Amino acid sequence: MLFWVIAAILTLGASLAVLLPLAGGTKGSSAAGDHDLEVYRDQLTELDRDMARGLIQPAEAEEARAEIGRRILRLGSASQTGAAAPRPSRAARLVATAAVLAVPLVSWGLYGELGSPDLPSQPLAERLAKSPADSSVDELVARAEAHLAANPSDGKGWDVLAPVYLRLQRYTDAVTAYRNAIRLDGDSAVRQAGLGEAIANAAGGIVSAEAQDAFEAALKLDPANAKANFYLAMGLAQEGKKAEAAAAWQKMLGQLPPDSPWRSAVQQALAETTGPAVAAGTPANGPDAQALEAAQQMSPQDRQAMIETMVAGLDDRLKQNPRDEEGWMRLIRSYVVLGKADQARDALGRAVAVFGADSEQAKKFTAFAASLGVTATE
Amino acid sequence: MTRKQKRLSVIIAGLAFLGAAAGLTFYALGQKASYFYMPADLATATVQPGQRIRLGGLVEKGTIVRSQGATVAFSVTDTQKSVKVTYTGILPDLFREEQGVITEGAFGPDGVFVADSVLAKHDERYMPKEVADGLKAKGVWQESKSQ
Amino acid sequence: MVETGHFALVLAFALSLVQMLLPLVGARSGNRRLMAVGGPVAVTGFALTALSFAALAGAYAGSDFSVANVWENSHSLQPMIYKITGTWGNHEGSMLLWVLILTFFGALVAVFGSNLPETLKANVLAVQGTIGAAFFLFILTTSNPFIRLNPAPIEGRDLNPVLQDLGLAIHPPLLYLGYVGFSICFSFSVAALIEGRIDASWARWVRPWTLVAWMFLTGGIAMGSYWAYYELGWGGFWFWDPVENASFMPWLAGTALLHSAIVMEKRSALKIWTLLLAILTFSLSLLGTFLVRSGVLTSVHAFATDPARGVFILCILTLFIGGSLALFALRASRLTAGGLFHPISREGALVLNNLFLTTATATVLVGTLYPLVLEATTGGKISVGAPFFDLTFGPLMLPLLAIVPFGPLLAWKRGDILAASQRLMAAFALAIAAMLVAGLFIDGGSVFAALGVGLAVWLVAGALTDLAVKSGVGSVTPAVMLRRFAGLPRSVFGTALAHLGLGLTLLGIVGTLSFGTEKILTMRAGETVDLSGHTLRFEGLFPRKGPNFTEDRGRFLLISNGNADGEITSAKRFYPARQTVTTESGIRTLGLSQLYLSLGDEGKDGSVVVRLWWKPLVTLIWGGGLVMMGGAAMSLLDRRLRVGAPARRRKPAAAAASASPT
């Protein structure tokens, strides 16, 4: 509301700036000739000064004086001819009215198109000072970040923030936060497992050696840590050791309490690994925990659709940014897992083309694909 | 000399001056402008050793070798061909593997490009324009819209 | 508040439309009420633009990331000073600054132009309004800084780290004051063409604006050069980069304009040429804006590559340059020629100055645009750099600099070159002596160095000679001399200072290029290095955390005569928000010279690449620029420039009397 009042006042002021001179009388003013005369007179006195200082020779000064004199004479004759005082015409009044109207019309019209009048200013300090209940997750995170920037050695703060990052899919930040928490507050199975999960997700779902280390560290502290066990098995599955993965998951099923949230995840994974034909072992693009959970609650058809969407997304990304070695390998494997051998072969072909047939990467791709049972056709 | 002749001679002198300046400008453009090449272009173009050119492309992965002192050797590639470059001095802050660079200098007799200046982009969101255009023309690099 | 700023901007656009039309119609039809609208509208337009700019600056200061422009170019952890300067450290904000300055100058004309003839003032304001309208429209349609984000992101993406610097904070405003200052000269020229007549006092009104614009442009270029020198870490002060050339071309043309306006003002000659030059100078400013803002040149200045913007600015460029030149072609013949002069005279010298400067401008223009034209037509890519400009711009400047000291000593209308030469004998002898010393006795001396030093000394001594001759040194008693010196017009001091500054800049350039030394080496903590008589000990790298960056500081101990003489630090900074590394060079000023060092990559064994320069007299490059600015300021104070208003206290009869030959 305040904004509209200000806008109205501004518009009024601007309109007045146009209106007042139009309505007001005009004072008498000098003709251009008077200005010129003043200048010529000054030129003459300056000529004298210059001559006194030797900047111009007397003969030339005489000439210059004559030149200026002639100009003054010309001025006199000109000013007598062009002194017609025109009256305000109707056209002029029309133009003036249009101008006065144009100011509010143009400004309100254009602002209506461009502006966001309902959006208040949101200075950061004000947003952070709001009560936590009204804040969005982003704002809470920002507040925590500001706190940690000031007190970087607050291990508890990092510990709280890390899983939040994980949920927000800010995996690299999650990795840093977990590392800081471990450095400051010491090892714990939960933190190590979280770190592993963050590393794996940052790498797009691949349980890398680094992630494995973290999970193993977690198991050392708590052999029954479900997350670590689950992901380690997933790593096995990703390496193609499906039997071992299945065994690990089977073992988990035996140990997990009946109400554990992991139970269903393990069962799903198990079903997919050992299941017939269309088994989706690894979600291609490493969905975060939420997406995983969602996938686990879906019907098999929906899950398949979701996985295929993710694979298509990966494929698209590689088209935009083809120099992504791991991405290509993930894509090839995903197609194999989905049972789309043609597309896997196609992906292999494209990957090789990007890096060049003789490149080291190409050899790696070919070998990798061969291990999955895919061979280049050409 | 009459007044007219005087004026004429002033005008002629002025024109001669402008003519000389124009001549010098175009001579300098021919001689001193350095052409821009990508490594693959060098196969078709004839570049004499010692001729100043600009060579642009990506810094090839794994080719950066720092020897004694401040001399650095690396390869510039457009993914089809690559050219060995040596440079003595401080590399720009944005000089990295697989980042676009423009080097300026000349080929030595041994076929190694000796650069006396290496430019990387100030703002790393952008490639050097010539490099980006060149890579696009070769179909290697596409502008990603996500950035 | 943000939306108030947005609304004020739109309102300012609406007013600029009024300013464009009403005074023009008024001047055409002789309607004084319509003409009178120009002034108040210009002032109100400026107030609204200032409000709009303040709103944007407020959003930056408060890190209001609901404004897209703030989100893209700011970060909550940035120091407050860079938050505020970030307002114009980006495309949209800098364009807003551009129109702010434009409307500011328009308001100045409105407020201080009460002594202008009515129609001229109306036309000038109308042309200013037209330029304003075009740029307001450009901002609102393609570069609106007030686009909002909802919901607002919680953290910004940070200002480009190389722009987080005080030097760069003042560089754009200075540069724009210069660029846009020439718009007033342009408006005056176009107004004169519209009227079809040039008042005798025209040059007197235009010259102060030229001086103001030239002064700020000089400062802006010097600042930009110094920024590039210490921030980019290469130790160079001028790269002949197209973006630098874009600011240098208006400067060269503006310098020519400054000189030709003197002739016009004093002798009413060169009217048409001066008019054309004023148009060209602002056209080059617009061209500079186009080159920098359109993204035609990809460089740190091209904040974004957006074809819509390029096309829009190109349209503005075509409209104003084409329109004004067409008007010039139509109307120039109606303007009368002025006084006559002999080729060897003050006027002649100033014409020669113009010839050289405009030709030099043309070579820079060719060198800047040729690569663009070639790429557009044949697709060939070339770069035109220092070698080209050394060969073309250099030979043009040398003779010009050599004749500079003669100019002020020549009489108007017909000068005596012999007498002037005699007066310059002392300066000449000094220059020759300096040349010999530089060429023979200083290490690193070369023909180029000797010539350059000689020329620089010649300029400085020539400027001083001018002052000495005009105050009568050698011909009158010291008392009279002092009185005369004090009584010299300010413009004489202005001329001498500007020429002196030019000499100092040249001396700095020659000193740095010819006598500077450079070393590149790898150093380990504890090692020392000698450079031109200075010893530096590398103390090692020390990590440090800044507000929005982390850095590795290399500390070097300067040892003079065996004693520690302070520390120089150079740093590698990492800005996490943009994942960018910058190098902060370490500079120590010793007298007029500087030790400059910059840190390279760190080796695996803890050694670090270090590049050191000894740059003798380097500060003179920018110091000379400051002196030139001082010269312009001095000229501005000259009482002559305040003449032009009809003085009612004197009777016309007096004027008539003085007009008759005495």
Contact across the interface for A85 and C470, Cβ inside 8 Å: no
Residues of chain B numbered 46-75 and touching chain A (CB < 8 Å)? none
Helix C2-29 and helix C166-195: axis angle, to 10°? 20
Look at B41-45, B138-142, C31-35, C161-165 and tell me which has the smallest mean pLDDT. Answer: B138-142
Q: Which of A41, A96, A117 lies at the smallest CB-CB distance from C655?
A: A41
Q: Is the pLDDT of residue C625 over 90?
A: yes
Q: Please report, rounded to a whole number, the percentage of residues in chain B having pLDDT higher than 70.
A: 76
User: Is A299 exposed, middle or buried, given 0-12, 13-18 or 19+ CB atoms closer than 10 A?
Assistant: exposed
Model pLDDT, residue C96: 95
| Cis check: omega of the bond before C151, within 30 degrees of 0 | yes
Give the torsion sign (CA, C235, C238, C240, C245).
positive
Model pLDDT, residue C186: 95
Beta-carbon contacts of residue B70 (< 8 Å; ≥ 6 apart): B88, B89, B90, C520, C521, C522, C600, C609, C611
Kindly report, residue by residue over A19-30, the tens digit of the pLDDT.
888 887 655 555
Q: Which chains touch C (3 or more CB pairs under 8 A)?
A: A, B
Beta-carbon contacts of residue C509 (< 8 Å; ≥ 6 apart): C237, C452, C621
Distance CA C381, CA C369 (A): 12
The alpha carbon of residue C192 is apart from the nearest alpha carbon of chain B, in Å, by 27
Look at A104-113, A327-336, C446-455 and tell me which has the smallest mean pLDDT. Answer: A327-336
**pLDDT confidence tier of residue C486, bands split at 50, 70 and 90:** confident
Query: What is the number of other CB atoms lying within 10 angstroms of the CB of residue A315?
Result: 19
Model pLDDT, residue C295: 62
Model pLDDT, residue A134: 58
ipTM: 0.80
Model pLDDT, residue C619: 94
Q: Is the pLDDT of residue A191 over 70?
A: yes
> Is this structure's pTM higher than 0.90?
no
At position A346, the amino acid (one-letter code) is D
Task: Return mean pLDDT, chain A.
Answer: 76
Mutate to test the interface with B, among C239, C340, C355, C359 (most CBs of B within 10 A): C359
Task: Return mean pLDDT, chain C.
Answer: 86
Beta-carbon contacts of residue A269 (< 8 Å; ≥ 6 apart): A230, A233, A234, A237, A245, A249, A281
Phi, psi of B72 (to 5 degrees): -125, 135
Determine contact: C340 vs chain A, CB below 8 A.
yes
Determine contact: A122 vs chain B, CB below 8 A.
no
Determine contact: A141 vs chain C, CB below 8 A.
yes
Phi, psi of C67 (to 5 degrees): -95, 120
Distance CA C662, CA C653 (A): 15
The residue among A123, A143, A121 whose CA lies nearest residue A131 is A143
Contact across the interface for A95 and C21, Cβ inside 8 Å: yes
Look at A72-81, A96-105, A364-373, C199-208 and tell me which has the smallest mean pLDDT. Answer: A72-81
Contact across the interface for C387 and B52, Cβ inside 8 Å: yes
At position A212, the amino acid (one-letter code) is Q
Question: How many contacts (CB atoms, under 8 Å) link B and C?
Answer: 110
Model pLDDT, residue C59: 94
More confident site: B10 or C643: B10
Phi, psi of C619 (to 5 degrees): -65, -20
Distance CA C276, CA C256 (A): 11
Token reading at C19: 């300013």
Question: Which residues, in sequence order, are bridge partners of residue B57?
Answer: B101
Q: Is the pLDDT of residue B75 over 60?
A: yes
- CA angle (C57, C60, C61) in 5-degree steps: 85
Token pair 């509010």: residue: A104
The alpha carbon of residue B141 is apart from the nearest alpha carbon of chain C, in Å, by 17
Look at A42-56, A110-124, C268-282, C346-360 and tell me which has the smallest mean pLDDT. Answer: A42-56
**pLDDT confidence tier of residue C296, bands split at 50, 70 and 90:** low
- DSSP label of C340: -
- CA angle (C386, C368, C172) in 5-degree steps: 95
Kindly report, residue by residue over A193-252, the tens digit of the pLDDT.
888 888 888 777 778 888 888 888 888 888 888 888 888 888 888 877 778 888 888 888
Q: Is the pLDDT of residue C52 over 80?
A: yes
Determine contact: A137 vs chain C, CB below 8 A.
no
Distance CA C414, CA A56 (A): 8
Model pLDDT, residue C14: 95
Kindly report, residue by residue over C240-258, the tens digit of the pLDDT.
888 888 999 999 999 999 9
Beta-carbon contacts of residue C505 (< 8 Å; ≥ 6 apart): C620, C621, C622, C623, C624, C625, C628
Distance CA A44, CA A67 (A): 10
Determine contact: C343 vs chain A, CB below 8 A.
no
- What number of helices (H) and strands (E) belong to chain C? 21, 10
Kindly report, residue by residue over C497-534, the tens digit of the pLDDT.
999 999 999 999 999 988 888 888 888 888 889 888 88
Distance CA A26, CA C86 (A): 45
Residue of C nearest to B66 (CA): C603
**pLDDT confidence tier of residue C339, bands split at 50, 70 and 90:** low
Look at A287-296, B32-41, C360-369, C554-563 and tell me which has the smallest mean pLDDT. Answer: A287-296
Do C548 and C77 contact (CB within 8 A), yes or no?
yes
Q: Which of A24, A36, A85 lies at the smallest CB-CB distance from C201?
A: A36
Model pLDDT, residue A287: 42
pLDDT mean over C287-292? 82
Contact across the interface for A37 and C15, Cβ inside 8 Å: no
Task: Please list every residue in chain A whose beta carbon sits closer than 8 Å to the beta carbon of residue B144.
Answer: 320-321
Distance CA B100, CA A106 (A): 47
Do C86 and C60 contact (CB within 8 A), yes or no?
yes
Contact across the interface for C600 and B31, Cβ inside 8 Å: no
Model pLDDT, residue A276: 44
Q: Please report, rounded to a whole number, the percentage of residues in chain C having pLDDT higher than 90.
A: 41
Distance CA A367, CA C544 (A): 47
Beta-carbon contacts of residue A238 (< 8 Å; ≥ 6 apart): A206, A207, A281, A282
Q: Which of A46, A115, A139 lies at the smallest CB-CB distance from C6?
A: A115
Kindly report, residue by residue over C183-232, the tens digit of the pLDDT.
999 999 999 999 888 877 788 888 889 999 999 999 999 998 998 888 87
Phi, psi of C454 (to 5 degrees): -55, -45
Superfamily name and number for B35-142: Nucleic acid-binding proteins (2.40.50.140)
Q: Which of B17, B28, B91 lies at the smallest CB-CB distance from C392?
A: B28
Distance CA C324, CA C338 (A): 22
The residue among B147, B138, B144, B114 whose CA lies nearest residue B58 is B138
Task: Please list every residue in chain A whose beta carbon sits closer than 8 Å to the beta carbon of residue C153.
Answer: 138
Kindly report, residue by residue over B85-100, the tens digit of the pLDDT.
998 877 777 777 777 7
Q: Is the pLDDT of residue A133 over 60?
A: no
Q: Is the pLDDT of residue C167 over 50?
A: yes
Q: Is the pLDDT of residue C5 over 90?
A: yes
Model pLDDT, residue B134: 59
Distance CA C22, CA C129 (A): 10
Model pLDDT, residue C606: 75
Task: Please list every residue in chain C whose beta carbon sits closer than 8 Å to the beta carbon of residue A18.
Answer: 15, 18, 22, 37, 40-41
Determine contact: B97 vs chain A, CB below 8 A.
no
Model pLDDT, residue A304: 64
Contact across the interface for A320 and B144, Cβ inside 8 Å: yes
Distance CA C506, CA C517 (A): 18
Contact across the interface for A323 and B144, Cβ inside 8 Å: no
Residue of A nearest to B142 (CA): A320
At position C15, the amino acid (one-letter code) is L
Kindly report, residue by residue over B59-71, the tens digit of the pLDDT.
888 888 877 667 8
Token reading at C274: 């001066």
The maximal CA–CA distance of chain B, rounded, in angstroms, is 77
The alpha carbon of residue B84 is apart from the nearest alpha carbon of chain C, in Å, by 20
Beta-carbon contacts of residue A207 (< 8 Å; ≥ 6 apart): A196, A200, A215, A231, A232, A234, A235, A238
Do B105 and B117 contact (CB within 8 A), yes or no?
yes
Q: Is the pLDDT of residue B121 over 60?
A: no
Contact across the interface for C355 and B54, Cβ inside 8 Å: no
Tell me the pairing of strands B113-119 and B100-107: antiparallel
Domain boundaries, chain B: 1-33, 35-142
Kindly report, residue by residue over C458-476, the tens digit of the pLDDT.
999 999 999 998 888 877 7
More confident site: C248 or C268: C248
Beta-carbon contacts of residue C46 (< 8 Å; ≥ 6 apart): C100, C103, C104, C106, C107
Token reading at A59: 């003969």
Token pair 């663009």: residue: C372
**pLDDT confidence tier of residue C582, bands split at 50, 70 and 90:** confident
Contact across the interface for B142 and A356, Cβ inside 8 Å: no
Token pair 């016009």: residue: C264
**pLDDT confidence tier of residue B144, bands split at 50, 70 and 90:** very low
Kindly report, residue by residue over C340-361, the tens digit of the pLDDT.
777 788 888 999 999 999 999 9
Q: CA end-to-end span of chain A, whole Å?
A: 70
Q: Which of C32, C48, C144 lies at the smallest CB-CB distance from A26?
A: C32
Determine contact: B145 vs chain A, CB below 8 A.
yes
At position C635, the amino acid (one-letter code) is S
Contact across the interface for A121 and C153, Cβ inside 8 Å: no
Q: What is the DSSP string of A243-296?
A: HHHHHHHHHHHHHS-TT-THHHHHHHHHHHHHSSSS---S-TT---HHHHHHHH
Q: Which helix (H) or strand (E) holds C269?
A: none
Determine contact: C64 vs chain A, CB below 8 A.
yes
Contact across the interface for B79 and A320, Cβ inside 8 Å: no
Q: Is the pLDDT of residue A307 over 70?
A: no
pLDDT mean over A319-331? 78
Beta-carbon contacts of residue A241 (< 8 Å; ≥ 6 apart): none
Q: Which of C36, C66, C197 lies at the smallest CB-CB distance from A119?
A: C66
